[in-house]
Amino acid sequence: MTTQTPGTTPAEVSDFYDVYNSLLRKYWDDNFHFGYWQDEADDSSIAVATDRFTDIMISKLPVGPGARVLDVGCGIGKPALRLAQQTGATVVGISINQQQIDEGNARAVAEGLADRVSFQQANALELPFEDGSFDAVLAFESICHMPRLPALKEMSRVLVPGGRIALTDLIKIEDPDGTAAAAGFQSQALVRYSDYPALTAAAGVEIDELIDVSAHTKRTYAAMAEGISRGTDEIVEKFGPGVVNVLQAVAAPLGPAASVGCLIMAGHRAA
Ligand code: SAH
């Protein structure tokens, strides 16, 4: 659970996003996370479904004006800005990828939130913050790129005792070993829902809620495939033959999509 899967060092993940940032923005959304659909009948757009998931995560972080929140693996900042807008909290977002940080800071200025929201390049495994610096931590679909235990320990370290943590993770819902990687997402080997209690306990985090939301996120793969099929020619033209690997990577979860699920963990740092 704590080993670094080949291809997933922080530098490799950053290189991956150098290519992926613009693809995701064009053929997915500025939210770099799964969509959340209410039920089979819900045919919300990707933009609506991904913002809905952000709102669910915000509801797991009961923070208000004056609270300091760290967003670990912030993407281009859309969730952090929404969190700050809705709650009045001060948010610091970190990502290993510099392009994302530049984009996030530009968006904070554009949205008039730069006084409360800032982004900086940092490795989640070596957070450049003192112990107990934050009231809450959000890690929205980012821990899947990291060796989970050291990452969770770092998040716990920078929280005040009792401070809240809310994260999502990709989970393997069928493979009995839980060892298959989420091919294409530069992800660590997936864990299972049932691995989470031991993982969080080892990191000094007490679980308040552990929710399997796989049934709500599964439409993500079909929606993503649709976007890619619309853009394939343009993507290949723009990025050249090397992009085939990226496309394959994106498409890879389509087959086993039913077995790649998602969980929400909300908890707090043990006092
Ligand atoms: N939370 C954002 C982005 C999710 S994509 C959103 O919901 O939109 C995963 C994010 O994790 C990316 O920003 C990626 O750069 C970041 N990430 C992956 N490994 C990291 C590491 N070791 N340190 C910091 N950020 C990392």
In tens, the pLDDT along 4-21 reads: 565 689 998 898 888 788
- Identify which of 103, 91, 121 has the alpha carbon closest to the alpha carbon of residue 10: 121
Residue of 176, 170, 160, 185 lying closest to 250 (CA atoms): 185
- Whose CA is closest to 82, among 38, 130, 138, 132? 138
Whether 36 has a pLDDT exceeding 60, the answer reads yes
pLDDT for the residue 5? 61
Residue 34's φ and ψ, nearest 5 degrees, are -60, 155
Q: What is the distance between the alpha carbons of residues 172 and 262, in angstroms, rounded to a whole number? A: 8
The pLDDT tens digits of the residues spanning 128-165 come to 999 999 999 999 999 999 999 999 999 999 999 999 99
Per the DSSP assignment, residues forming a β-bridge with 138 are 71, 166
Q: Output the CA–CA distances (angstroms, integers) from residue 169 to 1, 42, 141, 152, 212, in the order listed.
A: 13, 23, 5, 12, 10
Q: Looking at residue 1, what is its pLDDT?
A: 36
- For ligand 1, the distance from its centroid to the CA atom of residue 41, given in whole angstroms, is 31
What is the per-residue pLDDT for 211?
Answer: 97
CA 179 – CA 5 distance, rounded (Å): 11
Q: What is residue 79's predicted lDDT score, i.e. its pLDDT?
A: 98
Atom of ligand 1 nearest to the CA of 71: 1
Phi/psi zone of residue 112: left (φ > 0), alpha (ψ -120 to 50 degrees), beta?
left
CA-based nearest residue to 146, from 14, 254, 4? 4
For residue range 38-51, list pLDDT tens digits in order: 999 999 999 999 99
Nearest CA to ligand 1 atom 13: 75
**Residue 72 in 3-state DSSP?**
strand
Ligand 1, atom 17, residue with closest C-alpha: 73
Ligand 1-lining residues (CB < 6 angstroms): 10, 13, 17, 31-33, 73-75, 78-79, 94-97, 100, 123-125, 140-142, 145-146
Higher-confidence position of 104 and 28: 104
Give the chain's radius of gyration (CA, Å): 17
CB count within 10 Å of CB 86 equals 13
Report domain 10-269's class: alpha beta
Query: Is the pLDDT confidence value at 175 over 70?
Result: no
> Using CA atoms, how far apart are residues 260 and 256, in angstroms rounded to an integer?
7
Average pLDDT of the chain to the nearest whole number: 88
Pocket mutation for ligand 1, best pick of 13, 23, 217 (most atoms within 8 Å of C-beta): 13
Lowest mean pLDDT among 75-89, 190-204, 223-237: 223-237
CB neighbour list of residue 225: distance below 8 Å, 6 or more residues apart: 251, 254
Does an H or E element contain 97, and which? none
Length of the chain equals 271
Q: Which residue has the higher pLDDT, 99 or 176?
A: 99
pLDDT for the residue numbered 226: 78
Domain ranges of the chain: 10-269
Q: Please determine, for residue 2, whether its predicted confidence score (pLDDT) is greater than 50.
A: no
* Average pLDDT, integer, range 201-208: 97
Ligand 1 centroid to 255 CA: how many Å?
Answer: 24
